[in-house]
Amino acid sequence: MKELNYEKVFNTLVEETANYVTSNGLKAMVLGISGGIDSTVVAAICHEVSKKTGIPLIGRSLPIKNKSDEFATSVHVGEAFCNEFSVYRLERSYRAALFDACADAGDVNMANSYYLDELEEMPSRTPIANGNLQARCRMMYLYDIASRYKGLVMSTDNQTEYQLGFWTIHGDVGDFDPIQDLWKTEVYGLANYLQDHYKSKALEALRNDYKETCDNYKAMSCAIYNSCKLVPTDGLGISNSDLDQIGAKDYATVDDILSRFIPFENFRKSYDSAGQIMHPHDEMAESDCWSQLCARHGEDVVDKVWSRHLASEFKRKKAPIYITREKYEND
């Protein structure tokens, strides 16, 4: 991967997002804030878009059985960056949808009442299905807000999640995604730049005796810092993180593998006559790419990343509009 100039990246993402929102006559940007690094970075982008265009950022924290540190960080982010922010707990909506799903599967007696945990453990339910239903409950709520404000819903998926399929169709995907062409490690790089950027802004405001402005910038820098400290979860509750599902030690490993895969367009969609995923040894042999990656990261990890990538091809056809990296990548 090429080294990015994160100041250029940020300015480009703000400019391109502002152009998209204004050219389409949209009146608001609606963002679900989890407290994770991706929604935090998108919140910062949209905050600057709002300053530039006057179009408000409407933020919501929508917890459903969220970890306390994630929820607390989502509130810090929302209060720091949004023009309007509030918390709405969606446990009731999720339970109602879950009950109906269980009833459709014949798992429950409609005359009885059930606790949420009981419904999640019914025979027809799986952790993936439950996590996807939570994501779709949140998105339904966000789109209702966007309709009310005549705005759009912002997406927060990055290129790593996009390539691996670690996102929920009709759950994580909104209308426009500023960061979809950034790898997860690059999202962290951008977050680190923004943390320092807002810290510098705070010091400048302090020197000029603008206490309120200083406090605002400090809150932004601290919100990003807290988000960076969180351990990324898989968002579905089926494992501690996306990394656990593929056995990778960190996102640098995953991004290294994927960024080497992507140029091999032919084998990315290679299947045999029975529809089984083909192994990419032959296609990559000339460059020694496969053997190099296996030596560096282990064949099991490379295989799992490769398999996840191919298995999620159908998802990538449903991606939102996004900003391509050609607009900000260094020459």
Classify domain 6-232+316-327 at the CATH class level: alpha beta
d(CA 290, CA 89): 46
d(CA 199, CA 195): 6
Closest listed residue to residue 256, CA positions, set 183, 156, 329: 183
pLDDT at 268: 44
d(CA 253, CA 237): 22
Directed axis angle between helix 37-53 and helix 184-207, to 10°? 50
pLDDT at 267: 46
* Backbone φ/ψ region at 235: left (φ over 0), alpha (ψ -120 to 50), beta: left
At 239, is the secondary structure helix, strand, or coil?
A: coil
pLDDT at 174: 94
pLDDT at 269: 47
Closest listed residue to residue 238, CA positions, set 330, 120, 327: 120
Measured in degrees and rounded to the nearest 5, phi and psi for residue 54 equal 80, 0
Domain definitions of the chain by residue range? 6-232+316-327, 242-312
> Which strands form 57-61's sheet, in the order they lie side by side?
84-87, 57-61, 29-32, 152-153
C-beta separation of 57 from 31 below 8 A? yes
Chain-centre distance for alpha carbon 22: 23
Closest listed residue to residue 16, CA positions, set 316, 330, 328, 331: 328
Tens of pLDDT, residue by residue, the chain (331 residues): 778 999 999 999 999 999 999 999 999 999 999 999 999 999 999 999 999 999 999 999 999 987 788 899 999 999 999 999 999 999 999 999 999 999 999 999 988 889 999 999 999 999 999 999 999 999 999 999 999 999 999 999 999 999 999 989 888 889 999 999 999 999 999 999 999 999 999 999 999 999 999 999 999 999 999 999 987 776 666 666 778 888 899 999 999 999 887 766 444 444 445 555 455 545 554 456 778 888 899 989 988 998 888 888 888 888 899 999 999 986 6
d(CA 236, CA 283): 34
pLDDT at 320: 92
